[in-house]
Amino acid sequence: MSLLPWLILFLPLAGAVGITLFTQRDRDLSAKISIAAVWLSFFFSGLLCLFTSGTFKDAGLSAEWLTVGDLVVDFGFIIDPLSSLMLFIVTGVGGLIHIYSYGYMHEDRAVSRFFASLSLFTFAMLGVVLANNLLMMFIFWELVGVSSYLLIGFWYEKESAADAAKKAFITNRLGDFGFILGIILVWATLGGLNFSVLKETLAKNPGAMGGLATAAGLLLFCGAMGKSAQFPLHVWLPDAMEGPTPVSALIHAATMVAAGVYMLCRVFFLLDVPGSHAQLGYMVMAVGLAAPGAAMFHLATHAFFKALLFLGAGSVIHALHHEQDIWKMGGLKSKLPTTYRTFLIGTLALCGVPPLSGFYSKDGILAAASPSGSHPNPFLFILVVGVAALTAFYMARLFLVAFLGKAKDHCVDHAHESPGVMIWPLRILGTLSVIAGFMGLEQMLGRFFGDEHAHSLGYIAQLFAPFGHAPLAAFFGLFATVLGFSVAYALYANASTDPLPAKLGFLARAMRDRFYFDEIYTGLIRLTHEAISYVASWIDRWLVAGLVVRGTHGTTELFGRALRLVQTGNLQTYAFLLVLGVALLLFIILK
Amino acid sequence: MPHLPDIFFYVFAALTLLCGFLVVVNPFSRSPVTSAMFLVLTIISMAGLFVLLHAFFLAAVQILVYAGAVIVLFLFVIMLLDLKEEQRRKLKTFSLAAGVISVGAIAGLTVKAILDSGPGKGLPAPTVEGATAPLGKLLFTQFLLPFEIVSVLLLVAMVGVILLSKKDLK
Amino acid sequence: MLLTTLIFLPLLTALLLVLIPANFRFVLRALSLLATFVTMVLAVVLFAKFQPGVADYQFTAQASWLPALGISYHVGVDGLNVALVLMAAIVGFAATCVSWEIKTGEKLFYILLLLIIGGIIGAFASLDLFFFYFFNELALVPVFIMIGVWGRGPDKNYATFQITLYLSLGAFLALFGLIALYVQSGANSLDLVVLKQHLAQKPLEAGSQKLIFPMLLFGFGVLVGLVPFHTWAPLGYGSAPTATAMMHAGVLKKAGLYAIIRVALPFMPQGVAEWMPILAWLCLGNILYCGWLAMRQKDLNLLIGYSSLAHMGFVFLGIASVSLIGITGAVVIMVAHGLLAALSFALSGWLYNQTGTLEMAKLGGLMRKMPFVGMALVICFMAGCGLPGFGNFVGEALVMFGAWKSLPWFVVAAAWGGLVIGGIYMLRAIRSVVHGPQPDAWSGVSDAGNIWRKLPFAVLIAALIIFGCFPKLLTERIKPNVAEIVEAAAAKAPAKVAVTK
Amino acid sequence: MHVGLEHYLVVSALLFSLGLLGVLARRNVLVMYMSLELMLNAANLALVAFSRFNNNLNGQVMVFFIITVAAAEVSVGLALIVALYRKRQTAHVEDLTAMKL
């Protein structure tokens, strides 16, 4: 039984290693190994869940990895509803993406490398999910970073892809800097790294963290910011689209971005100290609002429909032979019927149309912030409603322009539906997006985070629950969606070019340039590190190597030149000097 | 009435110093041959001093090795090289003066030191005889290892000389 | 006996090579490979047979050599040096493997290389400081010759002079310190065991501790490239032939650190208290300043050189923390960085051989033509910026954990240097060397084709990963000895740096 | 005055100084070499005198060795001079300044 987590974790790694070492040449076999590995993991996750019903503790789940002094690091697993759910998301959604990639990447030269990286990524994500202590989480955290680096930079010969990979990694590194310091701080104050140990310590002595709680929280949060691409470390995410589309789906939706949220939920108890919420609240709203259950719920549904949308987009791109400009599409509804249908489901789910999953999960967050919720916060509430409206607007825009209307370019003419390996993952994800909202996930997570009000309702009751316990939130959510849709329809229903830039002027340009964040970052790095390294280099070249080293060398040589005058090369001069010396010595000794 | 060996000492000492002087600075000749010949004389008169010191074996060795072998070697080389050049060159007064002053200083200091300290005072009457037998006994017992090493040294010198004298020395 | 075999196998093979005519190239190379391979295997056996968790010396052997001065040939391993011996043997084998690039004067080259390998293993294994110094010099001197004869680049001669002078100066200062220790301790011995017993009863006077300690610290520090005595390192490595750079940056440098931990720390607690704060600041110089310097470099070898100096900063930080966790981490880094530096220089040597340049602006897109070397380079640089799964991460994490309690702000800076600055320059290097479009000039380059060419890289990477995934292999052996040393070093006063909180 | 150790030592010192003067003043390598021999002999004389007046034969053994070494030295030295002469066509120290950079 306790063998299962080990198998779940190491199967993908075995796949990655096997592919790298043995099956580089055989592209098809590599892909199959990778897919088999992730689905086996999925299968074992199912078994684990079945046998343990979510929570499991066993000595066989942990092994000592490193012990020096009072630093004890285990290599162990934590099995609870939270990680079980994530196991399913990572292996399930990840597995679908694996299958999808088999079709999508079929033509590529380096399929083996792709699937090896994919398996490595899965391994790393599973590690983050299963880790039972902070340092192990950090280790896999970093591995997620590096495998995403490999995936984003998969087409390394493209300058933009190579740059994007580099950027993603370095930005993540900035977050990790905070993460590791946070870990050290927690270890130094609480004396442990295991989540269970930390929880016990805090339960016994809630004030153990003292004034350092806020600092530790912010530092750990820093790590989540990097991975989840939270402002201001979001800059890498748009560029990460340079990788193959399944990678975008994996990073964006299924897993990597989710890792940040998962981590915050995992260390939630550490942050659950008065005072530290306020800073975090505006950033990872739900966690900040002390509603990690809602956050995880949204994370799960988000994984389904975001993956669905990306894979749908990938299907379109695949059909159009790597044309990515939506203003050259249009009328894809008839050409790609399945993609169209599933994409529609994804869009509606993302926009929060009931009864699709997005509505419920978003409602959970809205409810927490609403005036009648657990943490009333009108400002956040309005913000979330506004964001929901914006989301509805841009998704409707995309959908109207790309799928409906007339074809805007002849490349659409030759489009045909993607093969089955790509379509079936879409169908499965579509189904999940529809039903995830009322399956009871929310209650399960709620119980895990200690909300005693959570209780199971019937499926039908579940459908209408949001309107029951927080009607204000539910109606505001719906209102936002409808508003977004209407505006988009008015603007784009029959447009053949984008009318918005003309209307918004400067703002549109700023948006196109992503509010100049890249420029600001480049400038910041120029100003700090480049400048310092320039100065350091100058000091090293001219002061240390130049003045001091060459100076010493020069002075020595100068003396040498002066002394060389004495060196006439004449034997008798030397002898004479010798004799003078001897005479002097004799005089001193004998005088 | 002076003791006879003392008279011999003064004679030999004077001879040694005089001939030595002529080896180094001969007012009449700059030829290396003359220097070599006076070196022979110096060595022979030194052998006399050795005899006065009862070092009979060494006196013989001195004459045999130095006068018989070393000086012959010198002469041989002089003849071989046909050196005449120095006769045409003058001794530089400056260097000569510098040499004389520094060497004079050393000589003065040492002689003064010897005379001041009086190393011979209070020593028992000399009885030791430097005859062949006791010396040989010593050489083959206590100093056997150095003796062997010196023989190896001679061999090395021989090989070295042969190597150095090869025509196509590079 | 095993240890003595380990030391003298390469040395005797070097002697054997002298007798083989220079044009038997294959025999020369095969013999050197065989000798280093056997050495490596023996070192693995030694490492495996070593009993962890015991603080005593194991596999000891002793032979009297100069009793009048109390000097004897005394070898043995404990947790501190057993992994270093293993690392030296592995790197030695890899360095011999990559030496196929040497085309002239192979005989002398292999002889010198074997001298380096035997010498440095001897230095690590020696328990008598006289022999430690002797073996260390035996390994150092061939380095100068090799850079001078087989070096490359226009600055070869200057580099040779500089490295010779710096290292001789450092070694001289250290020797001075050792002699002072010998005289002042009054133990009439430089044997570590004897010294330890003697000094436990009769510690050195505070005054002489405060003088001898900096001599050892800076003398050995120069050998390691402690800022500001670092300028020889990048230039020297940039000019050195591949195998020499591997051996020196990987292994020889560690002898200095080893001596600081082995001799300076436990015998002079008051010196530690006096000088460790200064070392803490200097190590920041290594981590941050050399990191920034690495960012500016345009030549791959110089970049690796500076980054290796930056890694040394972590070791110094671990030493300066004078804590069990920190110094254990420092020793782990020494082992891991030895493998890593050797790997980096082996790879840059391969690139130089194929392209004839290491200027990063000229390279690019090499991944397509050389997938194996390209991947190894990515792995190597990832390990260099502290990626988990490689030994370096374990060491750096331990150092940061260990130093936190006494030097928190230094840890913050070190983490920044290691994670962020290290990430920036390492990734920039990957980006400009193996990624991006491939210039036409490099269409003729070739990958490490057969198994022999791949072997050195594979061995080094495998070792790095094994130590990274199973750090207990190292830490369990290191811990007991570090605990002793820390106890001795912190006997008087732990290092405290006045930092405004 | 009775002749004692001092007398021999003074003679030895003077002889030594003469040899030194020769080395310093003469320009011919061969003559310089002879002067060196003079200096060696001066040392020999002192040793023999010490040996005699201290009643100890060790000094004479030393002299024996010196003579042997001197013979070896002379042979090698002269061979060197010959080789040098062949190469440079001179035996004059002022012409032999190859040591000057």
pLDDT by residue (tens digit) across C439-460? Answer: 888 877 888 778 888 999 999 9
**Chain A hits for C438, Cβ within 8 Å:** 157
For the entire predicted model, the pTM comes to 0.80
Angle of helix C79-98 relative to helix C2-18, nearest 10 degrees, comes to: 30
- How, if at all, do strands C71-77 and C58-66 pair? antiparallel
In which domain, by residue range, is C181 found? 2-490
C436 interfaces chain A, CB cutoff of 8 Å = yes
Test the B interface: residue of D2, D56, D68 with most B CBs within 10 Å: D68
Smallest CA–CA distance, residue A83 to chain C, in Å, is 22
Whether the predicted pLDDT of A512 surpasses 80: no
Smallest CA–CA distance, residue D20 to chain A, in Å, is 8
Mind listing the pLDDT tens digit for each residue in A289-301? 556 667 777 777 7
C501 in a structural domain: no
Mind listing the pLDDT tens digit for each residue in D30-71? 888 899 999 999 999 999 999 998 888 899 999 999 999 999
pLDDT of residue C68: 84
Whether the predicted pLDDT of A456 surpasses 60: no
CATH of the domain at D75: 1.10.287.3510
CB contact under 8 A, D100 and A575: no
DSSP code at position C75: E
Mind listing the pLDDT tens digit for each residue in A132-187? 888 999 999 889 889 889 998 888 888 888 888 888 888 888 888 888 888 988 88
pLDDT of residue C363: 86
Whether the predicted pLDDT of A255 surpasses 80: no
CB contact under 8 A, D18 and B66: no
Whether the predicted pLDDT of C141 surpasses 50: yes
Give the tokens for residue C367. 């991944």
In which domain, by residue range, is D54 found? 5-96
Nearest CB neighbour to C325, from listed A64, A68, A529: A68
Q: What percent of chain C has pLDDT over 70?
A: 98
Higher pLDDT, residue A402 or B57: B57
- Show Cβ contacts of residue A338 under 8 Å, excluding neighbours closer than 6 positions: A417, A423, A426, A427
C6 in a structural domain: yes
37-56 in chain C: CB under 8 A from chain A = none
Domain count for chain D? 1
Smallest CA–CA distance, residue A572 to chain B, in Å, is 9
C494 — pLDDT class (breaks 50, 70, 90): very low
Test the B interface: residue of A576, A585, A588 with most B CBs within 10 Å: A576
Mean pLDDT for the stretch of residues B117-130? 81
Test the C interface: residue of A533, A541, A543, A547 with most C CBs within 10 Å: A533
- Cβ-contact D53, D4 below 8 angstroms: yes
CB contact under 8 A, D23 and A567: no
pLDDT of residue B83: 64
pLDDT of residue C288: 87
- Shortest CA distance from D100: residue in chain A: A569
A503 — pLDDT class (breaks 50, 70, 90): low
Cβ-count burial B126-139 (b if 16+ within 10 Å, e if not): bebebeeeebeebb
Test the A interface: residue of B102, B103, B110, B115 with most A CBs within 10 Å: B102
**Chain B hits for D60, Cβ within 8 Å:** 55, 57-58, 130, 135
Domain count for chain C? 1
- Cβ-contact C260, C319 below 8 angstroms: yes
**Chain D hits for A575, Cβ within 8 Å:** 23-24
C497 in a structural domain: no
C184 — pLDDT class (breaks 50, 70, 90): confident
Considering Cα of C425, then C430, then C433, then C436, what sign does the dihedral take? Answer: negative
Q: What is the mean pLDDT of chain B?
A: 85
CB contact under 8 A, C393 and A139: yes
Whether the predicted pLDDT of A359 surpasses 90: no
CB contact under 8 A, B102 and A576: yes
Mean pLDDT for the stretch of residues C413-426? 83
pLDDT of residue C501: 37
C145 in a structural domain: yes
**Chain D hits for A560, Cβ within 8 Å:** none
- Cβ-contact A359, A388 below 8 angstroms: no
Q: What is the mean pLDDT of chain C?
A: 88
pLDDT of residue C94: 95
pLDDT of residue A286: 52
Nearest CB neighbour to A570, from listed D23, D32, D94: D94
Higher pLDDT, residue B66 or A373: B66
d(CA A266, CA A183): 13
**Chain A hits for D27, Cβ within 8 Å:** 572
**Chain D hits for B54, Cβ within 8 Å:** 52
**Fold held by B4-91+127-164:** Four Helix Bundle (Hemerythrin (Met), subunit A) (1.20.120)
Whether the predicted pLDDT of A2 surpasses 50: yes
CB contact under 8 A, D97 and A572: no
- Show Cβ contacts of residue A115 under 8 Å, excluding neighbours closer than 6 positions: A15, A19, A30, A31, A33, A34, A35, A98, A101
D24 in a structural domain: yes
- The burial class, CB within 10 Å (0-12 / 13-18 / 19+), for A453 is exposed
* DSSP per residue, B51-105: HHTT-HHHHHHIIIIIIIIIHHHHHHHHHHHT--HHHHSPPPHHHHHHHHHHHHH
* DSSP per residue, D26-51: --BHHHHHHHHHHHHHHHHHHHHHHH
Whether the predicted pLDDT of D81 surpasses 80: yes
pLDDT of residue B84: 60
Terminal-to-terminal C-alpha distance of chain B: 65
Rg (CA), chain D: 17
Residue A165's nearest CA partner among C427, C275, C400, B160 is C427
Residue C311's nearest CA partner among C286, C339, C274, C348 is C286
C496 in a structural domain: no
**Chain A hits for B111, Cβ within 8 Å:** none
Mean pLDDT for the stretch of residues A354-362? 72
D97 — pLDDT class (breaks 50, 70, 90): confident
Which range scores top for mean pLDDT: A528-532, C151-155, C327-331?
C327-331
Mean pLDDT for the stretch of residues C210-224? 90
Whether ipTM > 0.90 holds is: no
**Chain A hits for D24, Cβ within 8 Å:** 572, 575-576, 579
C45 — pLDDT class (breaks 50, 70, 90): very high
C328 interfaces chain A, CB cutoff of 8 Å = yes
CB contact under 8 A, D53 and B126: yes
Domain boundaries defined on chain B: 4-91+127-164
Worst-scoring range by mean pLDDT, A116-120, A319-323, C38-42?
A: A319-323
CB contact under 8 A, D45 and B46: yes
D101 in a structural domain: no
- Shortest CA distance from D2: residue in chain B: B6
Test the A interface: residue of C296, C314, C404, C411 with most A CBs within 10 Å: C296
Whether the predicted pLDDT of C47 surpasses 90: yes
pLDDT of residue A218: 78
* DSSP per residue, A337-352: HHHHHHHHHHHHHHHT
**C–B contact (≥3 CB pairs within 8 Å)?**
no
Q: Which amino acid is at C123?
A: A
H or E element that contains C73: strand C71-77
Tokens 């399956």 map to which residue? A439
CB contact under 8 A, B153 and D72: yes
A568 interfaces chain D, CB cutoff of 8 Å = yes
